Chains A and B, each alone.
Chain A
Amino acid sequence: MRSFAFRIVTALTLATTPLLTHSITALGAPKPREVLVYSARIEKLIKPMFDAFTEKTGIEVKYFTAKEAELFERLKAEGSHTPADIFITVDAGNLWLAEQAGLLQGFDSPVITKNIPAHLRAKDNAWVGLSVRARPIMYSTERVTPSALSTYEALGAPRWRGRLCLRTSRKVYTQSLVATMIKTLGEQRTEEVVRGWIANMRRIFNSDTQMLKAVAAGQCDVTIANTYYLARLTVKDPGFPVTVFWPNQNGRGVHVNISGAGVTKHAKHRTKAIQLIEFLSSAEAQNLYADANYEYPANPAVKPNTLLLDWGEFKADTVDVAAAGALQVAAVKLCDRAGYK
């Protein structure tokens, strides 16, 4: 009995020791040659660029990955004590939101001005787009002729009844698409379109990959998805029976979104942080973006991955991508009203 009690005490002591040592080491001063990043892009998709930067400059990049919303809350709570110098996230809406919340700071940089087009960054570079992600229509090459397709809006036509698969409106990709539609078409027209989609909807998915596989398997015939998901599937199986249709080419163009970065308001290594963002906009890093995840480069001087070139060039919607942020709430409410889950 005594030995049982003894074991409990020992176990507790042993168990709580690392607790204290970790807290104490957390107090240690940061090493000088480093820059700290909060990233909503996962390690696999960001590490190649960081490694290249470290090799080139000798500056170590430390990163902390999490979902954008979690990073956002953490940045807010940490306030002026945040260890983060850079906030990397996907979706212009999220970048816009971080800027609105006062979490980011602008900076002047001739390099960024030269590398990144104005509509892909904030005016004062509070956030800078670093890769472009197109979200076009995709269709089954076995059951759909491309001539039947034209615009996002036309997917609401009765001919697609029961043939349309959609990504859930819980996902920011969908929310941004709908938000930019509200910006150009107005709220009323957009709601009509979305109601049309829902009338035709065969099933709603939680993942672009699963959705594209469903199109391939014949559960539905058309969908709207990000190109890099299709690229990954095509690399694995060159005969994957789904391909891209670039919609709205006679109008506003294909919906595009960005992934990007901003320097945090309380960055402790501001100069190095700017240096890293400049590097990420350079041709060298832009090629890594293009090859690591088959995204389109934000720097117009850089060519996309050859796989993407097979799908042809397209006209992209140049609506201010941050508009998506400002209209996201309206978009979510619209989807709820239209029954878009």
Chain B
Amino acid sequence: MATSEVKSVAFGLRHPKPWRPRDPWPLAAGAVALLVATPILIVVSSIATPSLDVWKHLWETQLTELIWNTLILIAGVGLGVAVLGTGLAWLVTMYRFPGRAAFEWLLILPLAMPAYVIGFVFLAIFDYAGPVQSWLRHAFGPGIWFPDVASPGGVVLVMTLVLYPYVYLLARAAFLEQSEATLEAAHALGANRRKVFWKVALPLARPSIVAGLALALMEALADFGTVAIYGFDTFTVAIYRVWFGLFDRGAATELASLLLLFTLTLYLLERSLRGRARFYQIDGKARPAIPKKLTGWKAWTASGMAGLVVGVAFLLPVAQLILWSVTAFGGPDYDSRYPVYMLNTLTLGVITAAVAVAAAVVVGYGLRLSRSRLVAAFGRIASMGYALPGSVIAVGVLVPLAFIDHSLDALLLAFWGTGSGLLLTGSMVGLVFAYLVRFLAVSCQTVEASLVKITPNMDMAGRSLGVSQGGVLWRIHLPLIRGGLCTAAILVFVDVIKEMPATLLLRPFGYETLALRVWELTSESLWQAAALPALTIVAVGILPVLILARTSVRHDETSVS
């Protein structure tokens, strides 16, 4: 149950052995976090040498608009995904209505779709020259009013539809973890379902909802594809403009640092709001809550709402993509290399998911055990990469890798007479590292959201029975947070298979993926040809999403004996 800080808990945690600086877990956490934070720190360090004339130019022209647009994005998408994600999660976990079992996993599917693909499909369908408006003009005359799709509202809508599954997934997991006993107690004390939601379930699920919200917002802030298609200038657009238009990479990274400042502010805001509240669920393994059956119009409204979201965010774009693949000029873009693209995409996804989850466990557990502010700070910086545009991270990774390569080469050349060439630059190691920098936030947020729900009493019990720190993690925590680990792995996997900018810059020579295929074709506006690789990404992404839907939290309830 959510309890306020219980002093004895914190005291007890430290009781079995006094903490020493050479405790391995905090140290490992610090090392991993520092490694991942390095490219981000390189980006931030650009602030030390500001390009004053570029800033002056931005200040005189578009800085106000940038900040304003970014705030619109944060507020709009934040509100949108919080309401949609939490609402739908509550609906499918607490009520029974026609199609509920299917909606439970169908609602996750938009996650498999790259945001800019949905963005473009919507624009193609609903824009002035698109079929809907053309038909309306044909039927009702040219004066017919239709909302402007390429508007701030359009951007917020598209991003909400793509990003709500983060909140939905984590909130659903949290609601499922809430035991029937807790909710029953609230009922017994006279609360109705609405009151249970607002007073018990929602506050208890808060770490999960906030984690989902943070991921959604960071992805919205880092998005370039969608906002560019909609002509909505945010920081990412400005970063590219300064970088590739004014050829000032320094100023571009300074802008990126400002973007990080936004993220940091949001994070600190949440932390201060959360205050000293704790979210342990002491009897987390009890029976889950029993859904209430909805009848009549209420049942159909529930089905209708869930159906509308799935229809607009997933079925409609998929239908359009299928139509395009079939009618693509010169046939769909398919050749014998497609299985290779798929295999490459899968390989990158699986490797990165494994690495990112392992790193998140190390960082998460290290932070749990450590009181060091330094480790905590690195951990925080390391999980900020998600708010940075992929290209900025890619260069942040490329520069140190190339530096290491060139130094090593020079060293070997001097001593042995033969250099090593490029070992890391353009290698899988470099690429996976870049993904880790970008996506550690995803696995960390998810793993941490699970870990905070385990009461430190568990740690104490384990330690007092003579189990080592590693043993506690291995034998108590990991089995308990298995659902969270699975969610983290799949979120990272899906993010990687959709990722484009870092792959584009850092991939090994001759290594092609589906997302690159989509980029190749869309960069020349060959959207119909791009429909096939885009659909394949969705197909590859759906598979783990389905696994997730089956194995997520529900399994845990029977796992620990």
Contact = CB atoms under 8 A, between A and B. Distances in A.
A43 B509 contact: no
Contacts of A70: 391, 394, 501, 504-505
B121 interface: no
B455 interface: no
A23 B129 contact: no
A214 interface: yes
Contacts of A66: 504-505
B547 interface: no
Given A69-B244, A73-B398, A207-B525, A64 B142 contact: no
Interface in A182-227: 203-210, 213-214, 216-219
Contacts of A235: 329
A22 B508 contact: yes
Interface stretch (B307-315, B380-388, B427-435): B427-435
Contacts of B233: 341
Interface in B216-265: 228-231, 233, 237, 240-241, 243-247
A332 B525 contact: no
A114 interface: no
A65 interface: yes
A55 B149 CA distance: 48
Interface string A63-86: 011110110011001110101000
A235 B329 CA distance: 10
Interface SS of chain B: helix
Contact of A64 (B243, B246, B401, B510): B510
Chain A CB count within 10 A is highest, among B228, B247, B423, B429, for B247
A133 B432 CA distance: 38
B57 A333 contact: yes
A16 B406 CA distance: 25
B247 A97 contact: yes
B427 A23 contact: yes
Nearest to A77: B402
B47 interface: no
B185 interface: no
B247 A4 contact: no
Interface string B12-40: 00000000000000000000000000000
Contacts of B228: 170, 206
Given A15-B354, A74-B505, A332 B429 contact: no
B182 interface: no
A217 B398 contact: no
A235 to B, nearest CB: 8
B351 A336 contact: no
Contact of B504 (A67, A168, A333): A67
Interface residues on A, range: 35 or more
A175 B427 contact: no
Contacts of B42: none
B524 A42 contact: yes
Given A23-B423, A64-B510, A15 B350 contact: yes
Given A70-B391, A206-B231, A18 B523 contact: no
A77 B398 contact: yes
Contact of B406 (A23, A79, A216): A79
Given A23-B428, A70-B505, A78-B426, A1 B479 contact: yes
Given A42-B521, A216-B129, A16 B478 contact: no
Given A210-B525, A341-B231, A19 B428 contact: yes
B399 interface: yes
A217 B134 contact: yes
Contact of A19 (B230, B429, B520): B429
A322 to B, nearest CB: 15
A5 interface: yes
A229 interface: yes
A8 B228 CA distance: 40
Contacts of A210: 123, 127, 129, 525
Given A36-B509, A74-B505, A168 B231 contact: yes
Contact of B427 (A5, A22, A172, A209): A22
A5 B391 contact: no
Interface string B474-492: 1100110010000000000
B349 to A, nearest CB: 10
Interface string B117-142: 00000010001110001100100001
A309 interface: no
B289 interface: no
Interface in B440-499: 474-475, 478-479, 482
Interface string B45-67: 00000000000010011100000
Chain A CB count within 10 A is highest, among B244, B358, B395, B401, for B244
B427 A4 contact: no
A341 B237 CA distance: 11
A146 to B, nearest CB: 22
B422 interface: yes
Nearest to B61: A336
A62 interface: yes
B180 interface: no
Chain A CB count within 10 A is highest, among B246, B421, B509, B529, for B509
Contact of B245 (A81, A203, A209, A332): A332
B428 A22 contact: yes
B426 A5 contact: no
Given A81-B409, A337-B61, A170 B237 contact: yes
Chain B CB count within 10 A is highest, among A74, A77, A81, A337, for A77
Nearest to B421: A81
Given A44-B524, A218-B142, A333 B246 contact: yes
Nearest to B148: A203
B246 A332 contact: yes
B546 interface: no
A257 interface: no
B526 interface: yes
A21 B353 CA distance: 18
B525 A214 contact: no
Interface string A297-341: 000000000000000000000000000000011001100110001
B355 interface: yes
Contacts of A36: 509
B128 A214 contact: yes
Interface in A218-253: 218-219, 229, 232, 235-236
A328 B245 contact: yes
A62 B510 CA distance: 8
Given A168-B231, A175-B245, A337-B61, A19 B351 contact: yes
Contact of B351 (A18, A216, A341): A18
Nearest to A203: B150
B283 interface: no
Interface of B: 57, 60-62, 123, 127-129, 133-134, 137, 142, 150, 228-231, 233, 237, 240-241, 243-247, 329, 347, 350-351, 353-355, 358, 391, 394-395, 398-399, 401-402, 405-406, 409, 421-423, 425-429, 432, 474-475, 478-479, 482, 501, 504-505, 508-511, 516, 520-521, 523-526, 529
29 contacts: A4-B478, A5-B478, A8-B478, A12-B354, A16-B351, A16-B354, A16-B355, A18-B347, A26-B508, A42-B523, A43-B520, A44-B520, A44-B529, A64-B510, A74-B505, A77-B402, A77-B425, A78-B422, A79-B402, A81-B405, A81-B409, A170-B240, A203-B150, A206-B228, A217-B133, A217-B134, A229-B525, A328-B247, A341-B233
Given A16-B351, A42-B524, A214-B128, 12 more contacts: A4-B482, A8-B478, A16-B355, A23-B428, A42-B523, A70-B501, A73-B398, A78-B426, A168-B231, A172-B244, A217-B133, A219-B129
